[in-house]
Structure 1
């Protein structure tokens, strides 16, 4: 009866696992990368920064276009006045009467257009425009670095989900074996071939394996939520990941390593900064040269004045056109231009030193990553062989245990050894893959390879 009950529980658990697997859609590595590129917050911010740099490098921000401004104005004035003529008399001898002017209104309207255009500014805006182009390309490299870091983070979490998925399967297998031991121990006890102690030992092992399975499932659920955060999707999104891992051939990796200086994003950024510093020197030198510009204006004025005691009201309309040219040459600015040029040259030298430092650090990091990757591959190969050894040992131990030639404790130890070998192999496999990804990032190929 107990055997039937355990068999029923085992079938229920298998069916439930199959149903859960059927409900969860598969999420391939490439699909995960595409989702991250589309939804990840950090990548979206980086792309917005690139868009800002793109706006800055446009002709509208270059200073090459003229400045056209318009102005208009209107004024209204109303006066009430009394004009007296003390001591003045008319021809008939009467005092000259006062002149009273009420509601004397005057209006003034004006409008104009002013055009200002710089023909030559010592080539400052020319080199500044080139600098903005380089800054745009630098922002693209910075966005690429953000994308590479995000993809590396994404794949790290993705492969952790894959590792835990395989561990869950391993723990399920171990639990099934332990449950089968209970069934066999109960049969043997019924026929007097062992003691109650063997049943209790098997039940203890089932308990431990159940706890291990629950913990693995909890870790898997938590790590899937971590992956959903990177993908910027619902934390309750369910999926199954691809547990197949392939490694890039060593010849291809050697080719990537040989081209690292041409593709590494950190080195490329230092080169862009070096070009920007070079343009800064040239922009600073433009202060030594004159500025030549053109100005032009066109205006319209209407002045409507009220009548006064002595003059009639008038309407005065004026059209005005002005054209001019200017040349300004700052022959001496107190040494400010000279200081700016010197500082720009020092900044350029510092950038050259930084480039050499970055190149040296990248070479070191690549060599370290390459050694680390090869070491992980060797460990993975050893762990694969260790699994084969422990599988053979477990199969022999299970045969011996079923024949009653070894104890349940010895059989359990063989099972634990196999369990550890399988989980260690899973860990070694994904460690080796992550080491490969880090090497690909350093060589600038992370976004160019098939996952």
Structure 2
């Protein structure tokens, strides 16, 4: 059994590894980014745990699952007897005018009487064309289908939380890239100012360096806003205060060994949406069999014990007005049988509709299978493409960092123009951001494949 999720969960996700290679060494400059990441650390596993406990979609699905489980009873399927206790007490006040032949009438005004009727009655259907057993099996399958719905909701929620978490990681990584660019920009300002102080460089080069530095600071401020937005989105998925700050503890690590055959096999065996569609076809078959069972005779047993008492204060014994009390009590039992003969062809209509529903469920199963295959094929193609691009960007970032280090040294020696240094600096920043983006996109494709193959949440 996969559920309940509260008691058994483990995650097949990334584990903490260094996000980026070491940045070029330079003098750190205080930036407002250091104020943003002041909250406690949050791991991906902890985020998923919080989300599974607090997410409203999962909570609603669990409540629906509880309802479906509560419905799986012998009594709900009609296999158990029903027992009812009944009691009736009536009071009457009447005017009585009674005449026998030519005798004088006997008149009583305001005559009272009361009746008491109590009984305990039991009925038990012992045969209904096996419909009660079919109904019980149907209730079981409906409950299993609802468990698959809950499981699918959990899988989708985990995937959303994973994407949102790594979005925070990506935006935080871009802040680190901007901070590295600012450190290089500060070194450029210091070198240019020193050269201007000794008359080697013009004042305009110092001003240009400061303009470029301020442009990078503006980019950093915008990136801080993007990081804040990403944190708000994640907090919303976790069902907690949007203003709650935190620092992501895990980095984006992409698995590179997922195979198309393994994913396809896992989808056929484990995907909850596909399993739910299969269960729906079985439920439709049970519903058709229930209609057919209603054509057969129904036999039931009845029994009960009753007490009847009637007190009449206007009874005549001869010519005397008196009070009479009648009491009966005892056991009754019997057999009830009914045979459907004609109901306006309604059973024919219901059986035809049930057959149509059975065909629909099979078509929906085929449609779900085709849709999952298409999603898996598309996700795997993206996964393979992102891995190739990721390898390219990982190689490229080393070249970009080496290029900046060389450019900065050549600028220090006066062998490189400020424009060329700025271009090398921008190239590194772009390469850092591209690496973060493609690593995030590769992780997204991996998460999609794991969700489709039901690899995010397991017992």
**What stretches of structure 1 of length at least 5 have no aligned partner?**
1-9, 89-95
Cα displacement string for residues 24-45 of structure 1 (whole angstroms, at most 9, x for unaligned residues): 1111111111011000111111
1:71 has 2:86 as partner? yes
1:13 has 2:23 as partner? no
2:377 to 367, 383, 387: 367
The aligned counterpart of 2:68 is 53
The aligned counterpart of 1:436 is 446
The aligned counterpart of 1:126 is 133
Structure 2 Cα separation of the partners of residues 380 and 205 of structure 1 = 29
Please, what TM-score do these two structures have when normalized by structure 2?
0.87
User: What secondary structure, in the 3-state scheme, does the structure 2 residue paired with 1:192 have?
Assistant: coil
The aligned counterpart of 2:3 is none
User: What secondary structure, in the 3-state scheme, does the structure 2 residue paired with 1:68 have?
Assistant: strand
Structure 2 Cα separation of the partners of residues 87 and 293 of structure 1 = 54
The aligned counterpart of 1:4 is none
1:289 has 2:314 as partner? no
Cα displacement string for residues 217-244 of structure 1 (whole angstroms, at most 9, x for unaligned residues): 0110111011111001011111111342
Aligned CA-pair RMSD? 2.5
Residue 100 of structure 1 deviates from its aligned partner by: 7.1
1:318 has 2:335 as partner? no
Residue 407 of structure 1 deviates from its aligned partner by: 0.9
The aligned counterpart of 1:240 is 247
Structure 1 Cα separation of the partners of residues 297 and 160 of structure 2 = 53
Cα displacement string for residues 77-103 of structure 1 (whole angstroms, at most 9, x for unaligned residues): 335668899997xxxxxxx9x977565
Structure 1 Cα separation of the partners of residues 446 and 278 of structure 2 = 26
1:105 has 2:115 as partner? no
Question: Pairwise mapping of residues 14-413 of structure 1 onto structure 2 (< 5 A)?
Answer: 21=37, 23-79=38-94, 104-250=111-257, 254-308=261-315, 310=319, 311-413=321-423
Cα displacement string for residues 15-70 of structure 1 (whole angstroms, at most 9, x for unaligned residues): x766764x411111111110110001111111111111112222342211212222
Structure 1 Cα separation of the partners of residues 157 and 221 of structure 2 = 30
Q: Is the 8 A contact 2:263 2:449 kept in 1?
A: no
Cα displacement string for residues 172-217 of structure 1 (whole angstroms, at most 9, x for unaligned residues): 1111221222222222111111001111101101110110000000
Structure 2 Cα separation of the partners of residues 103 and 288 of structure 1 = 55
User: What secondary structure, in the 3-state scheme, does the structure 2 residue paired with 1:288 have?
Assistant: coil
User: What secondary structure, in the 3-state scheme, does the structure 2 residue paired with 1:173 have?
Assistant: helix
The aligned counterpart of 1:5 is none
Structure 1 Cα separation of the partners of residues 140 and 161 of structure 2 = 31
Structure of larger gyration radius: 1
User: What secondary structure, in the 3-state scheme, does the structure 2 residue paired with 1:69 have?
Assistant: strand
Structure 2 Cα separation of the partners of residues 254 and 59 of structure 1 = 43
User: What secondary structure, in the 3-state scheme, does the structure 1 residue paired with 2:207 have?
Assistant: helix
Q: Is the 8 A contact 1:101 1:308 kept in 2?
A: no
Structure 2 Cα separation of the partners of residues 425 and 365 of structure 1 = 25
Q: Is the 8 A contact 1:163 1:243 kept in 2?
A: no
Structure 1 Cα separation of the partners of residues 449 and 426 of structure 2 = 34
Tell me which protein shows more helix as a share of its residues: 1
Give the 3 Å change call, closer, same or farther, for CA 40–196 of structure 1 in structure 2.
same
Structure 2 Cα separation of the partners of residues 134 and 404 of structure 1 = 78
Q: Is the 8 A contact 2:28 2:183 kept in 1?
A: no
Structure 1 Cα separation of the partners of residues 59 and 415 of structure 2 = 65
Structure 2 Cα separation of the partners of residues 258 and 78 of structure 1 = 81
Q: Which has the higher contact order (CA 8 A, sep 6+)?
A: 2
Structure 1 Cα separation of the partners of residues 139 and 101 of structure 2 = 76
Alignment coverage as a number of residue pairs = 430
**What stretches of structure 2 of length at least 5 have no aligned partner?**
1-26
1:421 has 2:431 as partner? yes
The aligned counterpart of 2:18 is none
Structure 1 Cα separation of the partners of residues 341 and 313 of structure 2 = 52
User: What secondary structure, in the 3-state scheme, does the structure 2 residue paired with 1:245 have?
Assistant: coil
Residue 254 of structure 1 deviates from its aligned partner by: 4.7
